[in-house]
Amino acid sequence: MRKYFGTDGIRGEANKELTASLAMKLGYALGYYLKKENNNKKKIKVIMGSDTRISGYMLRSALTAGLTSMGINIDFVGVLPTPGVAYITQTKGAAAGIMISASHNPAKDNGIKIFGSDGCKLLDKIEEELESYMDNLEEIIKEPLDGDKVGSFKYAEDDYFLYRDHLKSIVKGDFSGMKIILDAANGSAYRVAKEVFLSLGAEIVVINDAPNGKNINVKCGSTNPEILSKVVIGYEADLGLAYDGDADRLIAVDEKGNIVDGDKIIATLAVSMKNNDNLNGNKVVTTVMSNMGFESYLNENGIVLVRANVGDRYVLEKMRNQAANLGGEQSGHIILLDYGTTGDGIQTSLKLVEVLRDSKSKLGEIVSKIPEWPQKLININVGDNIKKNNWNKNEEILKQIKIKEKELENEGRVLVRTSGTEPIIRVMVEGKNLNQVYEIADFLSKIIRDQLI
């Protein structure tokens, strides 16, 4: 178990769990690691960006203090989607990239995601190394740099255009004649998504694009697309596209206002890519959470589904192992390796609209062919991480899971896993029989509550 890092960086309530002190420690640790890895080069550069949360300023300052005191130079690119920071890091040959964001979480939370020079999230073993430095701070700062040798901080907000132009470049032709609603979640996508779609000739309406530091993800975006559904219907639009706070996720809404999750977006892209001989090995990588109906649809279309652990970093790892170029999560993290190194909501939305344009089909028509087996997910807050991390040592819980798995036989499954960032155990049950799925999910959730709370 890692002490500070979860499945997607360090995350917690800003100023309580994710404090300025913790961010500064991370800055020291990352600076020390980068100097070691780069043989103490005099000029080591890091790209830093953030979403629109008010606490981003606090964490940026703390990280900057730690990094610059270790001699690291920082280019701050401003408010930008997480994949934009990853892209600029790789494009400009920086030693690392840092994104300050808690993604889809509420405004009071924040997080710190770190990318390597290749634009990919750090390996677990590197995060563990950083944690060891954070816990031995006296050792790594015992020989401070002279005051005239510390690192610099500069605003590099024009680097935004590198990412914007990259997004425009991945589309062949334009989107003239298409009416699209964008939900920017009052987050990182509020500027770039609008500019890209307008430049491609689409008729667009943008909602939730007025961030104030506190309204990010509030009743909007990929986690709350209900208002977007109503706007799509009201404007008689072709579809709606909802991003999360740092724009690394996409959830779509079809022309009738129906919500289209990551599984169905991936399936739509996969079949199109296969038909155009662009799907490497006719394989797709998703997580253990992806729907079994989605898997059966892929199989019917000659596409093999490979499952990875939850978290887009693990999806990427499996994609590389399998030489796959499409993967993602039901939640809307979708990786198109031909164009980027991490989940990118805007990039995915551009390729989705491209498929609709080229096929002359409505999104609802396409996704109606993708079966969705009944699935129920229950989140159980067990109060602390010790209980969360030891649930699988409870004999009664394990016994009841086995019994219920046998009841489902080969027409369903039970998946119990823990949250990477909160003291939560997730119980997911899936199968062909709706009543059976709900009964088993409720039963197992009660067992876990009785045993652990």
Q: Which residues fall within 8 angstroms of residue 177, CB to CB, at 6 or more apart? A: 201, 203
Round to whole Å and give the CA distance between 49 and 55: 13
DSSP lists the bridge partners of residue 121 as: 115
Round to whole Å and give the CA distance between 384 and 90: 38
> Virtual CA dihedral for 19, 22, 27, 29, nearest 10 degrees?
-170
Round to whole Å and give the CA distance between 402 and 430: 15
Round to whole Å and give the CA distance between 21 and 29: 12
Cβ atoms of 258 and 365 within 8 Å: the answer is no
DSSP 261-307: -HHHHHHHHHHHHHHTT-SGGGEEEEETTS-HHHHHHHHHTT-EEEE
Round to whole Å and give the CA distance between 385 and 421: 9
Round to whole Å and give the CA distance between 150 and 91: 25
Residue found by looking up tokens 């990427």 in the block:
316
Residue 103 a catalytic site member: yes
Residue found by looking up tokens 């596409």 in the block:
303
Q: Which residues fall within 8 angstroms of residue 450, CB to CB, at 6 or more apart? A: none
Query: Which of 50, 103, 188, 445 is an active site residue?
Result: 103
Q: Which residues fall within 8 angstroms of residue 364, CB to CB, at 6 or more apart? A: 254, 255, 256, 258
Alpha-carbon distances, residue 284 vs 49, 81, 173, 306, 315 (angstroms): 30, 24, 26, 6, 10
Q: Which residues are catalytic?
A: 103
